Amino acid sequence: MSRTILVYAERRDGSLRRVAFEALGAARRLAGDGGSVHAVLAGDGSAAEDAAALQARGADVVHIADDPSLKDYAPEAYLAVLRAAMDAVGPDALLLGHTAAGRELAPRVAAAYGAGHIADVTAIEPSPDGADVGFIRPLYAGKAFERRSFLPGHPWVVTVRPNNLPPAEPLDAGGSGGSVQALPYAPPPLWTAVRGVLRRASGQLDLAEADVVVSGGRGVRSAAGFEPLHALAAAFGGAVGASRAACDAGYCDYALQIGQTGKVVTPQLYIACGISGAIQHLAGMSQSRTIVAINKDPDAPIFSIADYGIVGDLFEIVPLLTSEVLRTNQ
Ligand code: FAD
């Protein structure tokens, strides 16, 4: 079974997001032998710099829209880019990251092309002959999963949750030998304009893409109490998250909140420190590959979903973990 797959290679702050490579990896599997993988890049002068990285990982054709109107993300402009790419490629499927932009663009493209849409996919299971493809997605905050397939006759639009699918590996021969093409893109009228971006500079990795997340809850007790968690996250090269109670108490910024009304993360390792394990928190982290809980209450509900539980005082345990990680890093 061979298909033509288009990937939206999302960039942020002038670089490709990791989920773009995860979507590319999925695209290569879905394309099958004899299929083709196209990627679309958008930016205001620097997008072409990323074409080689996509080709090295299997994009046969990279379509580039470089225009001043694409400096900041605007849904109308980026939708116009995707429409131009859809028209140029006529793909069987469009894959995007399940990011803020991907969530906004995917249903618009699906509506414009009469396509089916499956969102927030965490696993892709093609049948042995590749003809049928199951897309697995969590429901009810991860308490259930559904396996959904597209019916024949329509293009597919799929968003993939960051940090779940294996990224495309570099090709042995150093690249697909494919081509780069300028996309015929005419800036559409915009309905809104970005006047400025106010950034709370945490300087840390994007939580959604971090391999290791060290999270603190009310048990951390203060903003200063988060310092040992930052040190542990830094030792792992990971990011710090928080429960809503910790954010509400002013210990950290709401940008770090994980859960039903915060971010959803699926790192390789999630370390919950002083977090009780309320259902609303679990909604944002229960799909993490390995969960470690540190809590002084042996009956804390977080232990019921933890792979490893440490009953004790986080202020004693976290620094010990940090020094051990630093020692093994040497
Ligand atoms: P607590 O439940 O107070 O737990 C603190 C834990 O720290 C305790 O288990 C305690 O034993 C432990 N502890 C204390 N001191 C130490 C120490 N020194 N060492 C080790 N352990 C210690 N919550 C979220 O997190 N994310 C959400 O997105 C979210 N959305 C919500 C949406 C709605 C509509 C509602 C109603 C609630 C939502 N909540 C959310 C809140 C949620 O219900 C809980 O109140 C919250 O998750 C509790 O945070 P916590 O575990 O940090 O605090």
Instruction: Give 170-200 pLDDT, tens digit per residue.
Output: 987 655 578 999 999 999 998 888 888 776 6
* Alpha-carbon gap, residue 133 to 294, rounded angstroms: 39
Cα-to-centroid distance, 274 and ligand 1 (Å): 8
DSSP class of 256: G
Residues at the annotated binding site for FAD? 218, 243-244, 257-261, 274-281, 295
Query: How confident is the model over 117-163, as pLDDT tens digits?
Result: 999 999 999 988 888 999 999 988 778 899 999 999 999 999 999 99
Angle at 246 between CA 261 and CA 231, to 5 degrees: 110
Taking 50 as the pLDDT cut, the residues of the chain under it are none
* Alpha-carbon gap, residue 229 to 223, rounded angstroms: 11
Parallel, antiparallel, or unpaired for β 156-160 and 144-148?
Answer: unpaired
Nearest residue (CA) to ligand 1, atom 35: 280
Q: Please state the atom number of ligand 1 nearest to the C-alpha of residue 302.
A: 9
Asked if residue 280 has its Cβ within 6 Å of ligand 1, the reply is: yes
The helix, strand and coil proportions of the chain, stated in percent and rounded to the nearest 5, come to 35, 25, 40
Q: What is the per-residue pLDDT for 128?
A: 86
Asked if residue 246 has its Cβ within 6 Å of ligand 1, the reply is: yes
Whether this model's pTM surpasses 0.95? no
ipTM over 0.90: yes
Q: With contact defined as beta carbons under 8 Å apart, do 226 and 252 qualify?
A: yes
